Structure 1
Amino acid sequence: MSIDTGIAAFRRPFAWRELILQCWFIARVSMVPTFMLAIPFTVLTVFVLNILLLEIGAADMSGAGAALGAVSQIGPMVTVLVVSGAGATAVCADLGARVIREEIDAMRVLGIDPLQRLVLPRVIGSTAVALLLNSLVALVGLIGAFLFSVYVQHVTPGAFAAGLTLVTGASEVVVSIVKAGLFGLSAGLIACYRGLTVKGGPTGVGQAVNETVVFAFVALFFINVVVTAVGVKATA
């Protein structure tokens, strides 16, 4: 299905309207969970890091640690959780319901390719939203880390801001973007595959949604490990 979806990307006409609708749909179901996860993840990381830095008298390095954590790890990891837990499950349930109602079979009878009309817009939409969510998490995380460090743990604002780019540069941002794009692509493909292969009526839809979460988590964490290792080697 992944190969067929890639081939369908070069066929015309392209379902632009469906792409826009799916981008908005996935973003709508993912936005609130993103905010709810990004702030606690970042604050907890910065809290532990700042305690260590205060013990060794290096509190001015708080910004460097917060930037590295938010950009390279927290942003992609929160994207993993949100895209697979909210966006992918919603896509799988939508396609599974269409299969149960025999809409997919009706499309094939009419000569409409479901991969081109339904799967491709959802995969591209999932990838695009994952990239946007990764940037949003990094931004929210840095703002939350700044406020928590300055107003709760009394870190100097200027020192925090000056340390943001100390160990985090363009290479770390590129690796983070690549991670997010692969996360969105993989989650979209897994969700669409499980949605289109639903069997057993409404009960099968529920099972497919649960399997989508499990498969997406496993695939995305594996991708995170591989891309992180390759990125460290490439940028060392």
Structure 2
Amino acid sequence: MTALPAILVSVPFGVIVTVQVSSLSQQVGATSMAGAAGGLGVIRQGSPMVSALLLGGAAGSAIAADLGARTIREEFEAMRTMGIDPARRIVAPRMLAMLALAPMLCVLIIFMGIGVGYVLTIVYQDGVPGSYMSSFAAFATMGDLIVALSKSVIFGVVIVIVACQRGLEATSGPRGVAQAVNAAVVIGVIAAFILNVIITQLVSMFLPARIG
């Protein structure tokens, strides 16, 4: 459900990053560093945040709508009456699915973003393939990928928690479900942005960037 939107978002995102980075690198006379700057921008900040936006807008809204509809139909009360825990039967599988989906979505966005940046730099901006890849390899490390994947997982968990909480508390019929979905998307995405700032500051303090 989120794969196609991820591709459609990551392509223009990669174009924007590449154009901005290439323009700046040309102004300061550091065109050979375009690969490093663009690639690191996609990995460290772009991919986790795009993942959060897609997970919140697609997966989070779907979870909130599903649980909200079940709530107003009193399905969860019926499950509790039968001795079934809704959190274990309904919420836990969605959490596990998000834990598996978030890193895969992040990797897809990284691949598409860097790939688009590479093609744009080489084909339309007369970049040198070897220079692009060597500069990227000199600065990008496995730690950058691990941090990006960790961010996406954290954002996904937060989005699922918010979506489930809003869906389980939906009231007032279909209108209440719509309000729950809207609140789940807004709160989840804002929480992801706030967490991104905090995590970025912590990573900068304890894991400073180094040339690989």
TM bucket normalised to smaller: over 0.9
Matched residue SS, 2:138: coil
Residue 136 (structure 1) aligned with residue 98 (structure 2)? no
Structure 1 segments unaligned to the other structure (5+ residues)? 1-27
- 1:220 and 1:70 map into 2 onto residues whose CA distance is 17
Q: Does 1:159 align with 2:126?
A: no
TM-score w.r.t. the length of structure 1 is: 0.86
Counterpart CA distance in 2 for 1:127 and 1:186 is 11
Partner Cα distance (2:77, 2:137) in 1: 54
Question: Are the counterparts in 2 of residues 128 and 184 from structure 1 also a CA contact under 8 Å?
Answer: no
User: Is residue 106 from structure 1 mapped to residue 78 from structure 2 by the alignment?
Assistant: yes
Partner of 1:60: 32
| Match of residue 81, structure 1, among 30, 34, 53 | 53
* 1:215 matches 2:179: no
Aligned Cα root-mean-square deviation (Å): 1.0
Among residues 100, 122, 146, which one is paired with 1:174 in the alignment?
146
Would you say 1:231 and 2:206 are equivalent positions? Answer: no
SS at match of 1:106: helix
Q: Give the distance between the partners of 1:54 and 1:155, measured in 2 at CA.
A: 11
Aligned length: 208
Unmatched tracts of structure 2, length 5 or more: none
| 1:41 correspondence with 2:17 | no
Equivalent-residue separation in structure 1 for 2:23 and 2:30 (angstroms)? 10
Q: Is the 8 A contact 1:127 1:185 kept in 2?
A: yes
- Paired letter, 1:137: I
Identity of aligned residues (%): 35
- In structure 1, distance between residues paired with 2:104 and 2:5: 14
Deviation at 1:168, TM superposition (A): 1.6
Runs of 4+ deviating beyond 4 Å = none
Match of residue 18 from structure 1: none
Q: How far off its partner does 1:55 sit?
A: 2.2
Q: CA deviation at 1:127?
A: 2.4
Counterpart amino acid of residue 194 in structure 1: R
Q: Where does residue 92 of structure 2 map in the other structure?
A: 120
The amino acid of 2:85's aligned partner reads D
- Letter paired with 1:74: G
SS at match of 1:154: coil
Q: Partner amino acid for 1:231?
A: V
Task: Measure the CA separation in 1 of the matches of 2:76 and 2:44.
Answer: 40
Distance 1:48 1:120 in 2: 42
